Structure 1
Amino acid sequence: MLYAHDGQEDVLLEEDIDVGSGEPADLIVYNDDHNTFDWVMKSFEEILGHSSAQSEQLALLIHFKGKATVKSAALAELRPKREALVDRGLSAVIEGR
């Protein structure tokens, strides 16, 4: 398996995770310069089912830290959510644990 180094830790990338497994993974969203807080929060509420307060906290973490884990679940559950976030213009990846 290949690991990517994000500057602080090695992470297992989505393409390296066994597709048929229920392996735990993290959906991570990165900061960008074109999406508004309102759009990011709305996306988290509609796609991930997060509350308004949770969405706001995650948007702030992403803004100040550069990225945040927005959901942890099995890979199969995260893939369509990542695609939906990407379709809305967010920078999202899945990392295995």
Structure 2
Amino acid sequence: MSTREKTSEELLVEETVSTQNEIVLYNDDVNTFDHVIETLMYACDHTSMQAEQCSLIVHYKGKCTVKTGEYDDLKPRCSKLLEAGLSAEII
């Protein structure tokens, strides 16, 4: 009679925890759609379609997440939005 041994292995998985931050753009009654679209293309590297969709969401919903990522990448992008007169914050 043969004996079979079962070997159980413990697999240690190192989880990389990365905190994803977001730039949220808020609606205002000052900036035009064209200005918002151009600024999103410049500051967040959006395509014209992405920028247009975000501007419409901001207009109708009041706010929109326009970029997600690491804080160090988002900070200068958010600064560009603010310098252009848009209302945005990193959360």
Q: Same fold (TM over 0.5)?
A: yes
Task: Give the aligned partner of residue 34 of structure 1.
Answer: 30
Question: TM-score if structure 2 supplies the norm length?
Answer: 0.79
What is the one-letter code of the residue matched to 1:50? H
- The correspondence of residues 2-21 of structure 1 with structure 2, limited to 5 A, is none
Task: Give the aligned partner of residue 11 of structure 2.
Answer: none
Question: TM-score if structure 1 supplies the norm length?
Answer: 0.74
Equivalent-residue separation in structure 2 for 1:57 and 1:23 (angstroms): 26
Of the three residues 73, 78, 83, the one matched with 2:79 is 83
Task: Give the aligned partner of residue 6 of structure 2.
Answer: none
Identity %: 41
Where structure 1 has 5 or more consecutive residues not aligned to the other structure, the ranges are 1-21
What is the one-letter code of the residue matched to 1:28? V
Q: Please give the secondary structure, in 1, of the residue aligned with 2:55.
A: helix
What is the one-letter code of the residue matched to 2:58? I
Task: Indicate the structure (1 or 2) with the bigger Cα radius of gyration.
Answer: 2
- The correspondence of residues 64-75 of structure 1 with structure 2, limited to 5 A, is 64-75=60-71
What is the one-letter code of the residue matched to 1:68? C
What is the one-letter code of the residue matched to 2:34? D
Where structure 2 has 5 or more consecutive residues not aligned to the other structure, the ranges are 1-17
Instruction: Name the one with the larger strand percent.
Output: 1
Count of equivalent residues: 74
Moved over 3 A (4+): none
Aligned-residue CA RMSD (Å): 0.8
Shift of residue 23 of structure 1?
Answer: 2.5
